Structure 1
């Protein structure tokens, strides 16, 4: 939800209209709606390591499968972090000291 300074929400149509105007000025060809910000926000929470229960509460989900399946996209940073964690945890096992 997008709110004005006084706390009242913007009408969804006005947000969509502004997004369309902004996208026309870019080279982005993907059709985007305000809902894309929800996906991005949840992916960023996952990337930051926020636990799934907190993410679910924040976005109003009751089913963990919904949150995990639809919203938590694997980002490049998450892939890099996973590689670093594997290296930190198991790197010494692979180092047999053979010269």
Structure 2
């Protein structure tokens, strides 16, 4: 009788240990995809107005978080020296910068031109300090919300057959910078990461072809 009880206890204990081991197994982390330049061009072309085209280009060229972009004010875009200032603050629709540190992001003349076109043709007589606002409807001039952007992007993604979200542009920008030879510490500062390990382990989507190219460049430099 005692042996039967002990045997049953051992079976129950073994089942519990197995269950514990199963629960400890972590699912592999899903790595976000990045976009190629041709896909970005297709998404920009599919945008319905200059505001949306400018937003996609801002996210792609700067690697800004969507909250940082939606919180931008006109005073943050310095056209004269081609710089965007990312200033931590919350806007009326609760879009905000994740980091509490201010940083400057250098941008191209082409992005400044897109901004100018947007202000001249879409912004027109709208009275708002915010860059990305509703340009039609009864809420004209009010800052865009997260939900509005995600709805717009889902519509474009379905139409173009290119799955994407605002955050994929951040991953794409970081990967392109690293592929071009940027030091990881520079990419860290540009993205506003506190820890360089975040930049390297999460935002660097380099593949075997990247490693091959880097080694070939290394060999050329030695010659």
Question: Shorter-chain TM-score category?
Answer: 0.5 to 0.7
Q: Find 2:187's aligned residue among 41, 50, 55.
A: 55
1:46 aligns with 2:169: no
Identify unmatched segments of 5+ residues in structure 1: 93-99
Within a 5 Å distance, the mapping from 1:1-99 to structure 2 comes to 1=69, 5=119, 8-9=131-132, 10-28=144-162, 30=163, 32-75=164-207, 78-85=210-217, 88=220
Return the structure number with greater relative CO, CA threshold 8 A, min gap 6. Answer: 2
From the two aligned structures, give the one with the greater strand fraction.
2
Cα distance, 1:26 vs. partner?
2.3
SS at match of 1:33: coil
The alignment covers a number of residue pairs equal to: 89
SS at match of 2:160: coil
Q: 1:88 & 1:45 partners in 2: Cα distance?
A: 20
Match in the other structure for 2:137: none
Cα distance, 1:62 vs. partner?
1.7
Report the TM-score, using the length of structure 2 for normalisation.
0.34
Of the structure 1 ranges 40-49 and 1-10, higher mean CA displacement relative to structure 2 is found in 1-10
Deviations 1:33-78 (A, max 9, x none): 2011110111111111111121111111121111100001104662
Aligned CA-pair RMSD: 2.8
Identify unmatched segments of 5+ residues in structure 2: 1-68, 73-117, 120-128, 133-143
Q: 2:218 & 2:192 partners in 1: Cα distance?
A: 33
